[in-house]
Amino acid sequence: MRRLIATLLLVLAPQLALANEGGLKLLKADVDLNDTASLQRGAKMFVNYCGSCHSAAYMRYNRVGADLGIPEEVLKTNLMFTTDKVGEPMRAAMPVADSQEWFGVTPPDLSVVARSRGEDWLFSYLNGFYSDASKSTGVNNLYFPSAAMPHVLWELQGVNRAVFNTHTNPEGVQTQVFEKFENEIPGTLDEAQYRRATRDLVSFMVYMGEPAKLVRYALGVKVIGFLFIFFVAAYLLKREYWKDVN
């Protein structure tokens, strides 16, 4: 038993260490991929607020349309700004050379970012911008310090100021520990609405990272249904066969 616990601790240790990184907890995204309306809202936000700089080159518009139940006309007028062919991948509107010059770094492709960063990190990142006059973008990010990305959703969220406390450990080393955000400039959404909007956006990115998940969910329900019916049939058959034996 003791060995089992020791092994478990060994296996869990890296996760625990990660969870504690920097003493900063990630916010919970609580993504629900069955909520199609939320995914649709997320897709709209993505093309409106992110698609100018970021591509999602592994995703095609017509796949988004088919998976999220968006008719082609709506897709064309509301979601497609960089092409008019529905079979095209979601390319960024901004040429790579320009973004390199403006931000010093090319905004990365976001097709599978939900898998590399994780949904909670993305959600925290989008909720983690705060004003910082020392940065060229005027903002910094709690979860991605010194990120070159501006706070593109500031009109929705408004601008927050971060309050840090100075902690001194027994050795006399001082660290800045984040305490809370205070609203400096209000946005068009209140806090709950902004969280909902960013949750929609993260949900869309999670879907994008693995579109087959939606297909798998639907298939999973059918498979369980089939197994259940099969179980009942097999059980009745077994009773029938064993009736004479017993």
Shortest distance, position 105 Cβ to ligand HEC, whole Å: 5
Taking only Cα atoms into account, the Rg of the chain, rounded to an integer number of angstroms, comes to: 24
Nearest of 191, 55, 166 to residue 110 by alpha carbon: 55
Q: Is 214 in the site for ligand HEC (CB under 6 A)?
A: no
Which residues have a Cβ under 8 Å from the Cβ of 163 and sit 6 or more positions away? 178, 179, 180, 181, 182
Q: Is 107 in the site for ligand HEC (CB under 6 A)?
A: yes
Interface with ligand HEC (CB under 6 A), residue from 8, 74, 105, 223: 105
Near ligand HEC by CB under 6 A: residue from 148, 156, 189, 214: 148
Structure tokens at 229: 């019916």
CB of 137 to ligand HEC, least distance (A): 9
Q: Binding ligand HEC by CB under 6 A: which of 56, 59, 122, 139? A: 122
- CB 122: neighbour CB atoms within 10 A? 27
Token reading at 83:
């092409």
Q: Which one of 31, 47, 68, 149 is in contact with ligand HEC (CB under 6 A)? A: 149
CB nearer ligand HEC, residue 56 or residue 75: 56
**Minimum Å distance from CB 93 to ligand HEC?**
9
150 belongs to the binding site for ligand HEC (CB under 6 A): yes
Mask: binding to ligand HEC, 65-104, rule CB under 6 A, as x and -? --------------------------------------x-
Closest CA to 88 of 59, 111, 66: 59
Residue that is written with structure tokens 């008719």 in the block: 71
Q: Enter the tokens of residue 244.
A: 């004479």
Angstrom distance (rounded) from CA 167 to CA 170: 10
d(CA 126, CA 55): 17
By CB under 6 A, residue 53 contacts ligand HEC: yes
Region near ligand HEC per CB under 6 A, out of 14-22, 49-57, 64-72, 183-191: 49-57
